[in-house]
Amino acid sequence: MSNLPQIARFADKHFRVEKKVVGERTLITAKPLTSEEQVNEIARMHGGKETEIGLAHARELLSEE
């Protein structure tokens, strides 16, 4: 697990983990990401926004071997 997009790109699988407090309970969910969701998440991690430039960079980063 990494918060760095340059490291996260090497993962075989990507998940979105969310934490939500409902009443006095804390709920955590983990959802596997589709290919396009992976691009969006890498772009978000890299620059905080899903701009066209950020998305293009994320696609390039994920396509590098």
For the stretch 39-64, pLDDT in tens is 998 888 887 677 888 899 899 988 87
Residue 33: predicted pLDDT: 95
Helix, strand or coil, per DSSP, at residue 34: coil
Is pLDDT at 16 greater than 70 in this prediction?
A: yes
**Residue 55 belongs to what domain range?**
5-63
Check residue 49 and report its DSSP letter. Answer: S
For residue 63, give both structure tokens. Answer: 């396509």
> pLDDT by residue (tens digit) across 21-35?
999 999 999 999 999
- The CA distances from residue 31 to 17, 18, 23, 54, 65, in Å, are 7, 9, 22, 23, 25
What is the Cα gyration radius of the chain?
13
Pairwise pLDDT comparison (37 vs 11), residue with the higher score: 37
User: 45: helix, coil or strand?
Assistant: helix
DSSP 3: S
Counting the structural domains of the chain, the total is 1
